[in-house]
Structure 1
């Protein structure tokens, strides 16, 4: 299962048009300053890092469950 935690994309041209309408917009909405909204390479790297962390977390949880269900193995 894959979870895309960065579901929103902000096209750079659209962002520039938003700034033209209201230059203070990033201060009003700090989430707009998140670089993975516009930079697809950073977004890809974040997904890989998250996937690795979730894998290691699931392995740790499996060990805990196994240890609790079969303590004689440890």
Structure 2
């Protein structure tokens, strides 16, 4: 058994950021950037966390969305 000082501690804080959005990944307006910033035509300054994490499917107007809604990539 490992001593407490030898224990492995995982830093799960990096898991707070979702790499692939259940909503945005399927949207034609999403921008893929080298710096992994979540942006799109509707939210050029950053996609709201509520939408990125899938709590809002952005099929209805959302404040600041520039009049653009979710559209499936074809």
Q: Fold-level match, TM-score > 0.5?
A: no
TM-score normalised over the length of structure 1:
0.24
**By percentage of residues, which structure has more helix?**
1
Question: What's the TM-score, normalizing by structure 2?
Answer: 0.24
Greater RCO (CA < 8 Å, at least 6 residues apart): 2
**Going by fraction, where is strand more abundant, 1 or 2?**
2
